Amino acid sequence: MHACNNAAAPPVTPLQWGRSLSGPPAFSTRAGGRSHGLLRRWSDTSPEMQQPALDHHYVVLHLGGPKRVTRNTDTASTTTEVAVGAVTVVPAGSIGDWRTEGPIDFAHLYLAPATIEHVTAQELDRDARQVKLVEAVGARDPLLEALFASLLEEARSPGAGTRVYLDTLLHGFILRLLRGHSTLSEIVDPALHSLAPYRLRNVLAFIDANSSRDVSLADLAEAAGCSPYHFSRAFTRATGKPPYAYLLAHRLERAKAMLRDSVTPVAEIALLTGFHAASQFSRMFKRSTGATPGEYRRERGLARHDPLGS
């Protein structure tokens, strides 16, 4: 099978390409959003797949078991023995056909070129015009693989602080992608420093005022006046916890105070402290304290006021 020579055709979006495949994705996040990332998973689709030029880069996480993958372009044909968990990197604009011999199970993470360029220029201080992703099929990169698997797991089973956590994972993923699979040669990390006291006060005040919302890493970084990547490292050093872990701990402390000092129903406390549902709140609370919210309240003599406590 040879790649179609459709280089003159305009690039298509990931969603447009997805509609041309032999079946719908088994899982998909929403398109767009602040992260400019789209995560989708397919299984049991056709072993042959035509890929037009896309307006996004994409990275594949190969799942289901080992397989043999053939990649045909207008200039080359390569066949690779691909291990389960390996990754494939395809830059935006690339054209080719794919044939898979083995289990059809894979996830795609689509990344807008503007996102890659922003990280390159603003966080790594490099000329984004000079940095290109390098195509690779079935590459082994344990860190990139682990970050991809974590993104997939968290997106499928969201928990408290999911948005901040996903933003953090995605930033780490993009940095690793640039370091290991692009023309970026030497990376000099910015000096690791803590937040200035006034910046830390600003972000802690923001967390206190907005902990009931699904805030993002970008929201926290904006409150601190830093880039998301620099903020995450500096905040961790200043507080001893990553932003998502600090936010979760803050929410749980607020919930404890409300359980001790009020008769507010547990389900309402869950919403007021930023949890999506009472069941999720109870699960996270018990994981942190060893007791359910209702048990915690009963130990302090207030459970009789909350017949819905659990």
Considering only CA atoms, which of 112, 18, 118 is closest in space to residue 57? 112
CA atoms within 13 A on the CB side of 106: 27
Q: Which pLDDT score is estimated for 195?
A: 79
Q: Which pLDDT score is estimated for 158?
A: 72
Q: Is the dihedral of CA 151, 40, 163, 295 positive or negative?
A: negative
Describe the strand order of the beta sheet including 105-111 as a list of residue ranges. 27-28, 37-43, 105-111, 57-62, 87-90, 136-139
> From CA 190, how far away is CA 208, in angstroms rounded?
29
The answer, yes or no, to whether residue 201 has pLDDT greater than 80, is yes
What is the 8-class DSSP label of residue 7?
T
> From CA 70, how far away is CA 80, in angstroms rounded?
6
Structure tokens at 256: 């404890």
Could you tell me what percent of the chain has a pLDDT over 70?
A: 87
Q: Which pLDDT score is estimated for 34?
A: 42
The answer, yes or no, to whether residue 309 has pLDDT greater than 80, is no
> From CA 232, how far away is CA 238, in angstroms rounded?
10
Mean pLDDT of the chain: 86
CA dist 118 → 110, 122, 171, 261 (Å) = 16, 6, 11, 46
262-279 burial, b for 16+ CB within 10 Å, e for fewer?
A: eeebbbebbebbbbeebe
Contact (Cβ atoms closer than 8 angstroms) between residue 276 and residue 251? no
Q: Is the dihedral of CA 20, 21, 24, 30 positive or negative?
A: negative
> Which residue segments constitute the domains of the chain, with CATH numbers given?
14-180 (2.60.120.280), 197-240 (1.10.10), 246-305 (1.10.10.60)
The answer, yes or no, to whether residue 190 has pLDDT greater than 90, is no
Instruction: Give DSSP secondary structure letters for 103-133.
Output: --EEEEEEE-HHHHHHIIIIIS---GGG--B
Mean pLDDT in residue range 38-48? 93
Q: Which pLDDT score is estimated for 225?
A: 85
Digit-coded pLDDT (tens) for 164-184: 888 889 999 999 999 999 998
Contact (Cβ atoms closer than 8 angstroms) between residue 93 and residue 113? no
Q: Which pLDDT score is estimated for 9?
A: 76
CA dist 168 → 116, 164, 182, 192, 243 (Å) = 15, 6, 21, 17, 9
226 vs 141, which has greater pLDDT?
141
Mean pLDDT in residue range 189-217? 82
Q: Which pLDDT score is estimated for 57?
A: 97
Q: Which pLDDT score is estimated for 163?
A: 83
Mean pLDDT in residue range 123-147? 89
Digit-coded pLDDT (tens) for 259-284: 998 889 999 999 999 888 888 899 99
Q: Which residues contact 266 (CB under 8 A, 6 or more apart)?
A: 259, 278, 281, 282, 293, 294, 297, 306, 308, 309, 310
Mean pLDDT in residue range 213-238? 86
CA dist 230 → 127, 224, 243 (Å) = 18, 10, 12
Contact (Cβ atoms closer than 8 angstroms) between residue 83 and residue 68? no
Confidence of residue 187 (pLDDT cuts 50, 70, 90): very low
What is the 8-class DSSP label of residue 60?
E
Confidence of residue 191 (pLDDT cuts 50, 70, 90): very low
The answer, yes or no, to whether residue 161 has pLDDT greater than 80, is no
Structure tokens at 171: 């930033």
